[in-house]
A and B are shown apart, each in its own frame.
Chain A
Amino acid sequence: MARFIFNRLISMIFVLLATLVIIFTLMYFVPGDPAISLLGESATIEAVKDIHTKLGLDDPYLVRLGRCLWDFVRADFGISYRSKTPVFGEIMARYPTTLKLTLGSTILGILIGVSAGIVSAVKQYSIFDRVFTTISLFGASAPSFWLAMVLVLIFSLWLGWLPATGSYELKYWLLPVFTMGLQCSAFIMRMTRSSMLEVIRQDYVRTARAKGQTEMKIIINHALRNALIPILTVTGMRLCGLLGGSVLVETVFALPGIGKYILDSVSFQDYPVVQGGVMWICFNCVVITFIIDMLYGAVDPRIRSMYGVKKLSRRQSVKEV
């Protein structure tokens, strides 16, 4: 197990480094000049050159890449061209918003998706199954920005029940969390349904039923537990997707999250922010994937025992030598 964790940590570092090289290279070749964005249209050519020198924008690709990698190794995300403040601080100022939105949506998605998925599987082809499947199809295919605008139109503009933008109190979060949570729940619901359908026809479920266990116990303890692996996988993937992909919802609801910050910085050619923001999201995704991998072992004894067997076979092989 320790070796597995060690290997995973090493691969995480490589993933982060590769991401940094890719994002740096992309930003390097994106056309545009941050100096002009900084100084405005009245700037002289001389002033633009000064900014180039000050920011090191005239240095060759490899020099700038080396500087970027060295800063990354020292956990230095650099200074924003636009705000002139450390990028890490700017990201941290926006991180709670993105985290609240992402976690809130995922929790909502799990609650709705798992419950609806179980009901759909247990009552296959019933009216519940058909309704939930239709809603999940809608949730999965409706673009988030469109759904967000429709919800704002109904609940803010027409009914006046909820605020359209902002992030101050619980009521401000209902629409954005529901927008993203509905999409998340759609994927989780479909995965739960198909996994449960596979599991509930297994022999051990029939055995549990023959032993006289209650239907609830059978579904929760025997069926759901064994169907959790694909659900965990899709939940982890959705969580990563929401972290970086919440930009449209953040834009519509004026939520000061990381996604919107990165997008604004792209148009301003604020390279340190784009690199830092993408790296932070990448780091989060890598950690989430790692946690999901750990959870596989926690929920499925077969995976735990697999590590144990490996250890045993290694010891055995030593003895054999």
Chain B
Amino acid sequence: MADKKFRYNLRDHAADYWERSPKWRRVSLSISFIAFFYALPFLNNPLINTPGSDFQSVLFYPVGMYVLMAIGLNIVVGKSGLLDLGYVAFFAIGAYTMAILGTHTSLNFWEILPIGIALAMVSGVLLGTPTLRLRGDYLAIVTLGFGEIVRIVAVNIEAIGGPRGIAGIPTPPDLFKAKFTILDPKPYYWVLLTFTLLIIWMVRRMAARRPGRAWDAIRQDDDVAQLMGVNTLKYKVWAFVLGAAVAGAGGVLYASQILSIVPDQFNLNVSILILACVVFGGIGNLWGVILGAALLAFTPERIRFLSQPRILVFGIALVVMMNLRPDGILPKKKREHFDPNWKTVEESGEGEIK
């Protein structure tokens, strides 16, 4: 086949390179990557600049925020295979926690953050425990409903501003020398980046251990997972709750940057767009999802100079991409590996068991 010659599988090559690398090279590569992303707001490259909107703001919202939320949703959709169409609800709960507590109490951002995460997690448990017994389409419908309910409740409660939302949300207090002001999105971006790195670290640890195996099993065959002793409901609720925690943290940070929120910011579109990020990047593949979210968030800003037709261009680009790479940019594919220690044992029953 002619195309086989030209097909250079970047992901496999990158993974091979990483696996072959000694520890010092992995550490230095990781440090340079992380440093690059912390320095990103200072990068004034015409290629990635966003004419028509402030590049530093774009880095925080939508790019950084989408990446964070996509990582969170990927735990639910990608790892455990639960289709959640109401993910924005947890984002809204985080944002409203910041808005309400920030305007009515003297608590600051850092004190509200754990409360927002906790409330999002509690709502994850409350929604998840009864509904995660449902499967597939039914779960999707229930979560879709939940996402809308949270928004509609916010619209209808006058005490939290009703449709006008809440304005005058305080900014976080200064941290070291960084001042959080409406004019400078850089500190917010750095906080967001720190959250994101922390969450990537946590997700990777979970994925390689018992929870990761349990989620893999649930996604592939729920019944067999149960019969192999996996408490599937417990691990599904955990996936839901962890996803909710990530969105909740994002919501708190978002509200403290944007300073005023209205319920309509948390509509179904956000849920769908985050899900699109996950699917576009490659369901279940952490790096794919991050790349997908960054691209989906960045592209409309990059082509803002096209003004109205930009959404059309964006849509066409999306359709073309999904045709070229139907499994996402970096599809999840487990790589097989061999260890020379696993010498061939031809006859069945060579070993002993206790």
A binds B: no
Binding site for A on B (CB under 8 A): none
Binding site for B on A (CB under 8 A): none
